[in-house]
A and B are shown apart, each in its own frame.
Chain A
């Protein structure tokens, strides 16, 4: 079977102090460096010299190999600095690798940045032509697809407005739209959808799915696990320049999330973790949230557990009067989708007339309807007419413990949905 992309032992190394220190690379710099080298050699002899030289080399990618078949949608994920962008830049022929070999069969279109080559002074129309030609389209191609590009980007009314007056969202839409209409076999996309709004993101994902349906191959980098999961059929997880795991999206995402948690897992013993640093920094003299508590009243040693009751307490201190305020809680899954939103008012209609000093608001869930695994909680405080005073995103991370609610012995975790609800099954047989 032939591969449309084949990557063998690809490596890229940067020499720190040359390539990294890019901004001030002047002749003087060079002379000073030379002089410095001579000086340090005189001072410390050869062995020392060798060590400093070794430290100057940084492998952005090391021995990366993988193959991609036609029509696949590959997602590349990994923490910052893991080499994702370097990989895409090599595949786009922008950066030359240090070692290894890449073979690409077909025309490559890469969208590494939103609106590369857009000129702010030029109009939308002019920029479509300019950007299209930069991406490798001929004028004839652009002309024949011009209307499609414009209508996909939804910028008909602003075609003759200079792009500098566009909102960032409009710019992304236009830029993506030009690239999406490029007649390429391989499409390389780097974290560009993050800027657009949710509706346009969905549209782009749909568009990419369509394109892969037409036999085009997509290589996609993103930090948004939700988008990656819904778009890609295979993932590659990079960590410090090497492939750690690859394969079906769900397990790769899980191992990515697991590895990114090592840093704070020790504080998760109580089943939840409050970002205290963020808590202390947020809020004003007039209102601040002092602490947050999660309690499992029936099994306190477990912390949050599937099916158990859960109490969430918000302790606050206020230095002035707030009339008809509201407390808001949002529960999100690890991919950032909000699963549950609760507020004293308007959602629950629990009206607090006034707060003026300090106090505590308590929310009780009779039964936590979430499967085991990790969830995030946003906490907010709003004054009358639902105007937010304080919004603490992902302020609590909770690790819901597994519990066999249905007494079937079957584990309930994120691979089997998110929710656990009381239910009954019935079976009736009908005689023909």
Chain B
């Protein structure tokens, strides 16, 4: 077996898919590490994955449903909120974990070679586990309320992929920026906090007047959340097609842009980290 590595500064940075494939086991192991380490030395352990979404659901149901009395259609307000929380939690924790993944693993970057793209990508897996747990809770909730989804549930994997494209695309971009400009350590949590209120998590998108709806859909998570409500809760909440298409377009461009930016700045990471 002859493997030849040439190190040459004039060489253009390129995305080596073959190399990513070679290092796929590292992806699993880093994901496995993140999952293992996550709840070490906590009393409640995995229960935190259950407690957090439930708390948000209760608070939002009280504030938006009971106090502000926003409409929820025919669905119980708690379920309306919880369905939106699934993609939102996935998005927010993927984004925050992946944007910190490079500086959080600084020793690895300055001492070992591997395709750096693996770090922010593997940060996603923890959120995925949380997603699965939250989905199980949702099933319990829906049985409790007697809501049964139809064939539209098949759209969930597709919508999840869209959510991955959006969150990882942003995650790649911000994690690379974060290496050089640590300001993003403060910008990201703050933006996520804002995003929770801007996105239709605590309320139904139909609360937004139709003339503003397209503009509102510039936030790609609007399309994802609407999609989730459409797929899980059936036709009670309307699917807004232009919004979804826009969301897909923005998601794909974010992902492509994120990967390219990451790839371009990858080689200067060790100098700045």
Contact = CB atoms under 8 A, between A and B. Distances in A.
29 contacts: A18-B271, A19-B271, A19-B272, A25-B181, A25-B182, A25-B272, A26-B182, A27-B181, A30-B181, A93-B5, A93-B7, A95-B270, A96-B267, A97-B9, A98-B9, A102-B7, A104-B7, A105-B3, A105-B5, A112-B112, A121-B36, A121-B40, A121-B41, A122-B33, A130-B30, A133-B28, A133-B29, A134-B29, A136-B26
B18 interface: no
Interface stretch (B49-57, B103-111, B154-162): B103-111
Given A102-B7, A112-B112, A121-B41, 11 more contacts: A18-B271, A25-B182, A99-B9, A102-B8, A103-B6, A105-B3, A116-B112, A130-B30, A134-B26, A134-B114, A138-B25
Nearest to A113: B111
B107 A116 contact: yes
B270 A26 contact: no
Nearest to B187: A27
Interface in A100-128: 100-108, 110, 112-113, 116-117, 119, 121-122, 126
A93 B267 CA distance: 9
B5 A104 contact: yes
A126 B26 CA distance: 13
B108 A116 contact: yes
B112 A134 contact: yes
A70 interface: no
Contacts of A116: 107-108, 111-112
A104 B6 CA distance: 6
B183 interface: yes
Contacts of A106: 2-3
Max chain A Cβ within 10 angstroms of own Cβ: one of B6, B41, B109, B273: B6
Contacts of B68: none
Interface of A: 14, 18-19, 22, 25-28, 30, 89-108, 110, 112-113, 116-117, 119, 121-122, 126, 129-130, 133-136, 138-139
Interface residues of B, number: 39
Interface in B180-225: 180-183
A128 to B, nearest CB: 11
Interface string B38-65: 0011000000000000000000000000
Contacts of A105: 2-5
B113 interface: yes
B143 interface: no
Contacts of B114: 134, 136
Nearest to A20: B271
A130 B180 CA distance: 27
Nearest to A29: B181
Given A97-B9, A122-B33, A122-B36, A107 B110 contact: no
Given A25-B272, A95-B270, A101 B112 contact: no
Contacts of A18: 271
A102 to B, nearest CB: 4
A4 to B, nearest CB: 10
Contact of B25 (A30, A94, A99, A139): A139
A134 B3 contact: no
Nearest to B29: A133
Given A122-B33, A139-B25, A103 B4 contact: yes
Contacts of A93: 5, 7, 113
Contacts of B17: none
Contact of A27 (B2, B6, B23, B183): B183
B67 interface: no
A25 B182 CA distance: 7
B4 A89 contact: no
